[in-house]
Structure 1
Amino acid sequence: MPNRTDLRADCSRCFGLCCVALAFSKSADFAIDKSAGEPCPNLDDGFRCTIHSTLRPAGFQGCTVYDCFGAGQEISRRAGTSWREQPGQEMFAALPILRQLHELLWYLTEALEHKAFEDELTAAIARVEEVSRTADLTAVDVMAERAAVNELLLQTSRLVRGKQPKKKERRGADLIGARLRGADLCKANLRGAYLIGADLRGADLRQADLIGADLRDADVRGADLTGALFLTQSQLNAARGDRTTKIPQALTRPTHWTTLTT
């Protein structure tokens, strides 16, 4: 049975797979174009990023948002030797698949912490773990795996949040750039909501369901995300917060967040 610590990225045990396997285009998120399978020029011989501490100023904001949920180190462990010693195509193709399976394990493991639907969740975790050990991960139907656990996650969300007024049912809502400073969003349903650039300063997001919510450039300075449901490190990394932002215990405050108070 995994715990969420096992589903954290540990670059020290990875062959720098995300720096090679993934493609990106020159944009506000990346300073250069890079094809899939091509090592990033900032990757050194020890599989470490030479500009890790200055990624954002160097124009690689996208790298600071990405999180593999521990898939990188797991694929590296299974391979045993790096893509520099053997063809890496299988490792590269497996990365995005295993990342999504590990993301499901993150959600399921969090749901299990709420001590409800334990038998069903335990069985679902065992099932996803078994699938994640498939020799050829490219054969895995990730969408089917997501569909199989979605109702369990919904049930957990409903149980934790309880019955809420209609104004807090904002699933999939277009809240791009919305002015929500100080808003009462405690236990709100924000699954899949578009919160890009939203002003959430000082908002109450305790136990809000944020699975799949797009928090890119959302201003969460001073916001309370304590107990937020199904929030991931990647979502947190994409938002703009500071030392006054309250975050779930399982997550880490992004190093690029400003230290200024609201």
Structure 2
Amino acid sequence: MNDYLKSDCTNCFGLCCIALPYTKSADFPFNKDGGEPCRNLCSDNRCNTHDQLREKGFRGCVSYQCFGAGQHVSQTIYNGEDWRNNSERANEMFAVFPLVQQLHEMLWYLNQALSLKETQSFHSSLQNIYNETVKLIEKAPEEILKLDIVAHRSKINVLLLKTSEVYRKDLFKKGKEKRIKKGLDYLGANLKGADLQGSNFRGTLMIAANLSHADLRKADFIGTDLRDADLSNANLIGAIFLTQSQINSAKGNAHTKIPNFLEKPDHWLE
């Protein structure tokens, strides 16, 4: 996975801690409006409670991932000019950041699709839309604010769906594809030890589901909500469109097998 699609907080102006709003919930201990700096943000753009985020109720911060948008907006689009030094452009920067974050997330998925041998037949289409997306994040702030992100995402989604289908097609032939229902069917579901290899979990809510010891190889996890899902001893090798954010929001242990481009969260190893 390209390094520029990974979060680098040391080169960001703490944009996710300012630009994004959140409400008091299981993921955050208090309300915060968009454009309002989090009370834990220090003047050097570090978090004064970074090592205790989960303990202090900031689970949403632990699972959040900007896919490298923070450092791109901070260092490339705004040339390293901190929002603190330019109050006139601060609000513009806070509006640009979540749009660039969405584009970087699309690039992350496209990058994975391009890395698969199964997508060779439409590799040029993937590369073209990847290059088109890169050009969008290189635009000036005022142009980014006018982008139709929804329309662009729709074009990409067609190719991501095709990627998922060709990547998992061998399992279809073997009759192993699992027909996953949408909605609330998997909230807290007990799927311990289940053979879910090659399943399509796209957009599925699996909050607090028991997936321990489950076989999740080559499953599609795009848009899956894995908050508090138990992945202890599960096998996710070859899982497609699985992100670090999803892994961070779930539970697991040292025996959980994940793709090599992801890292096991510290709270899995405690």
- 1:150 counterpart (132, 157, 170): 157
Secondary structure of the residue aligned to 2:131 is: helix
Cα displacement (A) at 1:256:
2.2
Whole-angstrom CA distance in 2 between matches of 1:48 and 1:147: 35
Indicate conservation of the 8 Å contact 1:4/1:250, yes or no. Answer: no
Whole-angstrom CA distance in 1 between matches of 2:110 and 2:181: 20
Indicate conservation of the 8 Å contact 1:97/1:142, yes or no. Answer: yes
The one-character-per-residue Cα deviations of 1:146-168 (angstroms, maximum 9, x if unpaired) are: 11011211111111111523761
Indicate conservation of the 8 Å contact 1:37/1:92, yes or no. Answer: yes
Say whether residues 1:123 and 2:89 are aligned partners: no
* Matching residue of 1:47: 45
Indicate conservation of the 8 Å contact 2:203/2:225, yes or no. Answer: yes
Q: Which stretch shows the higher mean deviation, 188-197 or 166-175?
A: 166-175
* Matching residue of 2:261: 250
Letter of the aligned partner of 1:221 in structure 2? Answer: S
Number of residue pairs matched by the alignment = 257
Q: Which stretch shows the higher mean deviation, 193-202 or 3-12?
A: 3-12
The one-character-per-residue Cα deviations of 1:80-102 (angstroms, maximum 9, x if unpaired) are: 21111012111110111111111
* Matching residue of 2:105: 103
* Matching residue of 2:199: 188
The one-character-per-residue Cα deviations of 1:73-119 (angstroms, maximum 9, x if unpaired) are: 10001212111101211111011111111111011010000132211
Q: Please list, as runs of the form range in 1=range in 2, the aligned pairs for 1:200-219 lying within 5 A after superposition.
A: 200-219=211-230
Indicate conservation of the 8 Å contact 2:176/2:197, yes or no. Answer: no
Say whether residues 1:82 and 2:82 are aligned partners: yes
CA gap of 1:141–1:172, structure 2 versus 1, over 3 A, is farther
- 1:132 counterpart (134, 137, 147): 137
Whole-angstrom CA distance in 2 between matches of 1:175 and 1:256: 24
| Residue identity (%) | 48
Indicate conservation of the 8 Å contact 1:37/1:89, yes or no. Answer: yes
Whole-angstrom CA distance in 2 between matches of 1:5 and 1:225: 22
Whole-angstrom CA distance in 2 between matches of 1:145 and 1:121: 13
- 1:169 counterpart (179, 199, 213): 179
Whole-angstrom CA distance in 2 between matches of 1:14 and 1:83: 11
Give the unaligned 5+ runs of structure 2: none
Cα displacement (A) at 1:257:
2.1
Letter of the aligned partner of 1:142 in structure 2? Answer: I
Whole-angstrom CA distance in 2 between matches of 1:41 and 1:158: 45
* Matching residue of 1:68: 66
Secondary structure of the residue aligned to 2:126 is: helix
Indicate conservation of the 8 Å contact 1:111/1:156, yes or no. Answer: yes
Question: Cα RMSD (Å) of the superposition?
Answer: 1.4
Indicate conservation of the 8 Å contact 1:20/1:37, yes or no. Answer: yes
Q: Which stretch shows the higher mean deviation, 147-156 or 159-168?
A: 159-168
* Matching residue of 1:30: 28
Cα displacement (A) at 1:203:
0.6
The one-character-per-residue Cα deviations of 1:212-252 (angstroms, maximum 9, x if unpaired) are: 11111111111111110001111111111111111111111
TM-score using structure 2 length: 0.91
Letter of the aligned partner of 1:228 in structure 2? Answer: A
